[in-house]
Structure 1
Amino acid sequence: MTIDDPQVLAEVTAAFHAYEAALMADDIPAMDALFHDAPTTVRYGVGEVLYGIDAIREFRKGRGGSPQRTLGRVAIATYGRDLATADAEFYREGSQRRGRQSQTWVRFADGWKVVSAHVSLEGTTA
Structure 2
Amino acid sequence: MTDFTPNIPEVVEEVRVLFERYEQALIDKNVEVLDATFWNSPHTIRLANNEHGYGFDRIHAFRVARPPGPGTKEKRLRLDIVTLGRDLATVSLVYKVRGREMTGRQTQTWVRFPDVGWKVVHAHVSMIAEEPIL
TM-score scaled by structure 1? Answer: 0.90
1:118 corresponds in structure 2 to: 124
| Counterpart mapping for 1:1-126 below 5 A | 1-65=4-68, 67-69=71-73, 70-108=75-113, 109-123=115-129
Report if aligned partners of 1:24, 1:68 keep a CA contact under 8 Å in 2: no
Give the Cα–Cα distance (whole angstroms) in 1 for the partners of residues 16 and 57 of structure 2. Answer: 26
**Corresponding residue pairs, total:** 123
Q: Given the two structures, how large is their TM-score scaled by the length of structure 2?
A: 0.85
Query: What is the percentage of aligned positions where both structures have the same residue?
Result: 42
Please tell me whether Structure 1 or Structure 2 has the larger radius of gyration of its CA atoms: 2
Aligned-pair CA distance for 1:75: 0.5
- Following superposition, the deviation at residue 68 of structure 1 comes to 4.7
Counterpart of 2:31, as a letter, is I
Which segments of 5 or more consecutive residues in structure 2 lack a partner in the other structure? Answer: 130-134
Deviating runs (4+, > 3 A) in structure 1?
A: none
